[in-house]
Amino acid sequence: MHKPPIEPFVQLGQLLGHLANQAKWPGFACGLTEEEYEEALTQIQTAHHHNGWFTADACNQALHEWSKLLQPESMSAWMSAYGTTGAPKQVGIICAGNIPAVGFHDIVCVLASGHRALIKLSKDDKILIPMFMHWICKFDPTWSARFAFIERLEGFDAVIATGSNNSSRYFEAYFGGVPHIIRKSRTSIAVLHGQESPEELHALAKDIFTYFGLGCRNVSKVYLPQGMDLDRLFNAFYPFREIGNHAKYANNYDYNKAVWLLNREDLLDNGFILLKKDERIACPTASLFYEFYDNLSELELKLESLHEAIQCRVGVNGLDLGSAQTPQWTDYADGVDTMQFLVSL
């Protein structure tokens, strides 16, 4: 079976770019009437009424990243690397809801590979993805037959499920009899050499604070060379201090601080993020774990043993600082090639 055309996705990308910039209605060429466009802007700006983490800034950030991905050159290059599929399958998708539209990558993969998507949305993200799919069908009505939003997965030939380490056990039991990708909890790390410029450390702060640190690509642990002055991190974090005014984030900050102080844990605190020396790599919201290292080679061996818990790595021997939340098409969750899985069905 040939892969479907990408034009509706490209048009969606152009529309998302306008919306992310909160631009004025660009005309009928965007695919929406002025009234529809204004309604879309309103829904994006008020998504936090449904999910307090989905602030206008967070939603606009997600739309901006999708507008960059949904370009004809990048989509064509990505899709051309894979063969064609056989008969279309019914592929169930259980979406996560930790950051805006995070499940859309799986949806695009299923549709781009020629299969039909059975989409079970997260209760935390029921605004953006339905809007995206509504617009795609508006651009090309034939797409309405290629997917369905469902409350209960039935009649599926394969499944892509994203959840926690706990939910993954249930997914394995329920979906083990069909081809599947089941994702667990992961987080991201940074390794610094200690000579980073203020601009590089500011970029690291973006990796930490974007989407309030809730994504699997957010840095939750930094490895620092012995003797590095932690005030350099705090100076880089200071421009992000407004995050402390967000109610849900502040509640997490206050709760974690109270618990750790009661336990007499050593903390570094700047009023909006807690730094705690800890060997673990996954930290609670509004905190950051750090650890000093003496020898980079020894650290590499340690990180190799943790690779199944790490989504991405920035800094030394990793991605550029500041790029954690700008994944490309092939930056698949859990390192599993979703498209190869789908074309092989």
Is 326 contained in some domain? no
pLDDT in tens, 181-206: 999 999 999 999 999 999 999 999 99
- pLDDT value, residue 229: 95
- pLDDT value, residue 2: 61
Q: What percent of the chain has pLDDT over 70?
A: 99
- Cα–Cα distances in angstroms (integers) from residue 271 to residues 199, 218, 268, in the given order: 22, 20, 9
Do 298 and 203 have their domain in common?
Answer: yes
Mean residue pLDDT of the chain comes to: 95
Domain that holds residue 44: 7-185
Q: Please list the alpha-helical segments (H only) found in the chain.
A: 7-20, 34-45, 56-69, 72-80, 104-112, 128-139, 165-175, 198-209, 231-237, 247-262, 296-304, 338-343
User: Of 69-78, 82-91, 172-181, 302-311, where does mean pLDDT reach its minimum?
Assistant: 82-91
- Cα–Cα distances in angstroms (integers) from residue 151 to residues 58, 118, 122, 157, in the given order: 26, 9, 10, 17
Taking CB atoms within 8 Å and a gap of at least 24, the contacts of 172-176 are 175/92
Do 14 and 152 have their domain in common?
Answer: yes
- Mean pLDDT value of segment 40-44: 96
pLDDT in tens, 227-261: 999 999 999 999 999 999 999 999 999 999 999 99
- pLDDT value, residue 180: 97
- pLDDT value, residue 11: 97
Q: What is the CATH number of the domain that holds 158?
A: 3.40.605.10
- pLDDT value, residue 278: 97
- Does position 166 have pLDDT exceeding 80, yes or no? yes
- Does position 1 have pLDDT exceeding 60, yes or no? no
Nearest to 202 by CA among 165, 246, 233: 233
Is 2 contained in some domain? no
End residue of a domain, out of 185, 208, 233: 185
- 279/157 Cα distance (integer angstroms): 41
Is 234 contained in some domain? yes
Is 338 contained in some domain? no
- Does position 4 have pLDDT exceeding 80, yes or no? no
Residues linked to residue 313 through DSSP beta bridges, in sequence order: 189
pLDDT in tens, 275-295: 999 999 999 999 999 999 999
- Torsion sign across C-alpha atoms 33, 39, 43, 44: positive
- How many folded domains does the chain comprise? 2
End residue of a domain, out of 185, 217, 244: 185
Is 58 contained in some domain? yes
- Does position 308 have pLDDT exceeding 60, yes or no? yes
- 13/110 Cα distance (integer angstroms): 18
Do 40 and 125 have their domain in common?
Answer: yes
The answer to whether residues 300 and 313 touch, using CB atoms and an 8 Å cutoff, is: no
- pLDDT value, residue 85: 77
Is 23 contained in some domain? yes
- pLDDT value, residue 190: 98
- Does position 311 have pLDDT exceeding 90, yes or no? yes
The answer to whether residues 316 and 300 touch, using CB atoms and an 8 Å cutoff, is: no
